[in-house]
Amino acid sequence: MNTLYLRIYATVVVLLLLFAAASGWVFQRHMEQERVRTEVVLTERMSAWAELIQRSLPSEDQPTVDQAAALLEWSQRLRLPLALDSEKGARIAQSDSFVRRQAEGAVRGLAVRLEDGRTLWILRPGLVRQGGRLGIAGAPAGAMADGADGLPPFLPFIPPAWQKGLGLVVVLVILFIAVAVGAYPVVRRLTRRLEALKLGVEQFGAGQLHHRVQVTGHDEVAAVALSFNVAAARVEAVVRSHQSLLANASHELRSPLARMKMAVSMLDDAAPAQRERLKKEINTNVAELDALVEEVLLASRLDAAPSSGRGELREHVELLGLAAEEGARVDATVVGAPTTVLAEDRLIRRALRNLLENACRYGGSEIEVVIESHGGRAEVRVCDRGPGVPEAMRERIFESFFRLPGHAEQAGGVGLGLSLVKQIAERHSGSVRCEGREGGGSCFVLSLPLA
C-alpha cells in the first residue's frame, strides 16, 4: 500500500475495529456476570418466599377453599404467580397471574415440595417499572432483575430484545461503519494537501523556480508548505543571481580576452618598442581578468554561504586602525575615534578597500575616511571630490556589473566592487548608501552594528 492516505485510513479503521471488538467482549462479559448474579438472587429470593408461604398456608386437611384463598392472598401480596398442587398432583388453586404467565409461555419457575406432600409452584416474577427503571415485581424499589425469560439487565439505549448478544453486534457494526465513513474525508483532506505539496516540490525540482504551493490551514502541513515557499524564494533568488552573475561575467570577460588576443597576434611582427607596450597591455588585461575572477568567486561565496548569525568566524575588528592601513595605500586622510565591531576581518577589509579604490578611481586625489559611532552603530564614511553620483542612480550603483554612463572601461573596474560592499554589509546586519558631499563629490557610508 503505497498511498499515504490509504495507510492512514487503514490504520484508523484497524484501530477502530480492535476497539469495537474489545468493547464488545468486555460488554458481553459484563452482561454474563450480571445474568449469573441475577439468577442467584432470584433463586435465593424465591426459596425464601416458598418457605414463608409454606408456613402460612392452611394444612392439607383444611378445606380447599381456605387453601385457595390463602394462596391467592399471598400471590397478591408478593405479586408472584403461584399455584398449589395436592399430594396426588391435582391442582388445588392457582393465581390469575400464574395462568396468564403460562399462557405467555413462561415455564421457568420453582417447584417447592411441602412437608405434607403438596407442591407449591412459583413462577419467576415479571418486570415492572420502579421510578423509571425496571425492577422485580414484589422486590424493594430499585432492585434490578432479569426479564421474564432471563433477559439481561435493562439498558435504555438498546432495545431489550437486542440484549441477548446479536443486537450488541449490530450496534457495534453500525458504530464502526459510521466512524469509518466519517474518518475517510478527514484523512483524505490531510493527504490531499500533502499530495499538492509533493507536486509543488516536483515542479520546483523540474526547473519551475517561480512555482509556489498554496498554504491552507494553520497546522503542521501548512507550516511545511510555508517553509517550502520561503526556501524556494531564496533558492530562486540565488539561482537568478548566479545566472545574472555568470551572464555579466561572461560579457565582461570578452573585452580583456579580445584585447589580449589582438596583442598576442601583433606581438611577433611588432617593433621592440611596440612589443614592450603590447606586453604591458597583456599584463594589464591579465590583471583585469584576475580581479574579475576573484570578485566573481567572492560574490558567489557570499551568495552560497550567507551568515549564520552565530558569529563563529567573527572577531573584534578595530575600524580606525583598519582604515589607516588601507587608506595609506591610496594616500587617504583618516580621522575619527577608535571604534570596534564584531565582524569577519577579511571581509570588512575587502569592503573598505573596494570603497577606497572606487574613490581613487573616480574621485580624484582628495579622499577622506571618517570613522563615527552613534545610536549603537559604527559608520565608515569614504568621501571623494569626484563628479558625484546622480541621485536617481545612488541605489543602482550597488547592483552587479552596473557602471555609470560614460565610465565603462575608462577608469577600469567591472562594476562588482560596490555590489560586493553591499553583500558584505548585509552579511554583518549592516548597510551601505551613497550620499552627496558638500562642495562636490560623493560619500559612501558603510554602517555596521557596534560590538
| Nearest residue to 368 via CA among 447, 449, 448, 441 | 441
Separation in Å, CA 356 to CA 82, 327, 329, 349, 450: 122, 7, 9, 11, 22
How much is the pLDDT for 403?
Answer: 75
How much is the pLDDT for 382?
Answer: 93
More confident residue, 179 or 337: 337
| Nearest residue to 147 via CA among 280, 14, 284, 42 | 42
pLDDT greater than 60 at residue 251 = yes
Banded pLDDT at 407 (limits 50, 70, 90): low
What DSSP string describes 144-168? ----TT-PPPP-TTS-GGGTTTHHH
pLDDT greater than 70 at residue 100 = yes
Q: Which fold has domain 221-304?
A: Helix Hairpins (1.10.287)
| Nearest residue to 225 via CA among 201, 250, 192 | 201
Q: Which fold has domain 315-449?
A: Heat Shock Protein 90 (3.30.565)
pLDDT greater than 50 at residue 293 = yes
More confident residue, 447 or 6: 447
How much is the pLDDT for 310?
Answer: 47
Map out the domains of the chain as residue ranges. 4-175, 221-304, 315-449
pLDDT greater than 80 at residue 374 = yes
Dihedral, CA atoms, 235, 240, 241, 245, nearest 10 degrees?
A: 140
Q: Which of 23-27, 93-97, 392-396, 446-450 reaches the highest mean pLDDT?
A: 446-450
How distant is the alpha carbon of residue 262 from its chain centre? 63
Kindly state the average pLDDT of the residues 122-146. 48
What is the C-alpha separation between 403 and 85, in angstroms, rounded?
A: 127
Q: What is the mean pLDDT of the chain?
A: 78
More confident residue, 384 or 362: 384
Banded pLDDT at 130 (limits 50, 70, 90): very low
Categorise residue 227: left if φ over 0, alpha if ψ from -120 to 50, beta otherwise: alpha
As given in the structure block, the three cell numbers for residue 222 are: 501548512
**Residue 383 pairs with which residues in a beta bridge?**
368, 443
Kindly state the average pLDDT of the residues 372-386. 91
Q: Are strands 340-343 and 315-318 parallel, antiparallel or unpaired?
A: antiparallel
More confident residue, 433 or 266: 433
How much is the pLDDT for 359?
Answer: 87
Kindly state the average pLDDT of the residues 318-325. 92
More confident residue, 279 or 145: 279
Model pTM score: 0.48
Query: At residue 258, what is the residue type?
Result: A
The lowest-confidence range among 66-80, 98-112, 197-211, 419-433 is 98-112
